[in-house]
Amino acid sequence: MNNILALPRVMLGSWPTPLQPADQLSRQLGCRLYIKREDMTGLGGGGNKARKLEFQLGQAINDGATHIITTGAIQSNHAQLTAAAARRLGLQPHLVLSGQPDKQRRGNLYLDHLMDSELTFVSPPAGRPPLEVINETMVQVAKSITNQGGTPYIIPEGGTDALGTVGYILAVKELVQQISSMQMNAKRILIVVATGTCGTHAGLIAGASIISNNLFEILGVSVSGNTDIKIEKTARIATETLSLAGYEQTIDEGQVWIEDGFIGSRYADITEACRNAIHQTARSEGIFLDPVYTGKAMAALVHMGQHGQLSKYDAVIFIHTGGFPLLFNYDYAIL
């Protein structure tokens, strides 16, 4: 843990985020459910990426950066939060976004414009890996900034690297402290989190492996992509994160639990199960989920509850990773 404390860091979030009992959903799902409100981090539109950005922007400041470059989909929560973090620190955000925007600026894209982010839209050609094209574009943007006298710093898609992921080792430490202070008296806890670029899931696994003494089982609910690739990536990032934090432990693929049955036909496909989970959570707890990440994770949790798969746990913790602005881009498909 001392290695983490020695890393450059800027404070961007309001910690700890609340751990709230969800009494209505608990009754409906047959478990003792708590929601970890990572949507209430206090940065931009809210969301878990603030934990990663504290270390990534800390390194950027340490390196003398003037411009922050990152990437994501057009409605990327990560890109929007990165722009917010950059603006808070007096830096210029440049977002390389995949796809072409509609004429209407809604959701996260509206917030990107509101913060006067520099935007580059990329439509990768068929036959080339999209992320390869996007990463090449970020390098080109960085070269242009350098040629103009600036100092760029590139943050990968989703903020997923070992440096950012150490933030979730600290999140596990925070969570264990909250469980203790709430006198939860639980010996077996299921954690459920949406997984896209795998960093948050990897950080939770890494943190649990050194802090929680086998208290947690961690389920990542996939929102896109190939599951085998995700399992390999999650294990690798978790191991790299532990190494950066000063631990020699290795996370193997058998320690990574991913459920891929709630993606739908593609990324950001708003399935009926996802839509129902968003409505159920809003009407039961007054908490808003998004249709790309948290809605699908909750759909998986609801399914488990309906099939009696949660009663074996002393408690269930749902990680609310944010995404509130997305509701205003997909309103037509949710209501």
Catalytic residue numbers read: 76
Please answer whether residues 191 and 317 qualify as being in contact, where contact means their C-beta atoms are separated by less than 8 angstroms: yes
Cα separation, 122 vs 81, whole angstroms? 20
DSSP 308: T
Cα separation, 231 vs 81, whole angstroms? 26
Cα separation, 125 vs 56, whole angstroms? 30
Q: Which residues fall within 8 angstroms of residue 122, CB to CB, at 6 or more apart?
A: 96, 97, 98, 99, 133, 134, 137
3-state secondary structure of 70: strand
Cα separation, 321 vs 179, whole angstroms? 19
> H or E segment at 57?
helix 49-62
Closest CA to 97 of 143, 131, 51: 131
Q: How do the residues of the chain divide into helix, strand and coil, expressed in percent and rounded to 5? A: 45, 15, 35
Cα three-residue angle 325-199-237, rounded to 5 degrees: 170
Closest CA to 66 of 163, 153, 159, 157: 153
Cα separation, 221 vs 289, whole angstroms? 14
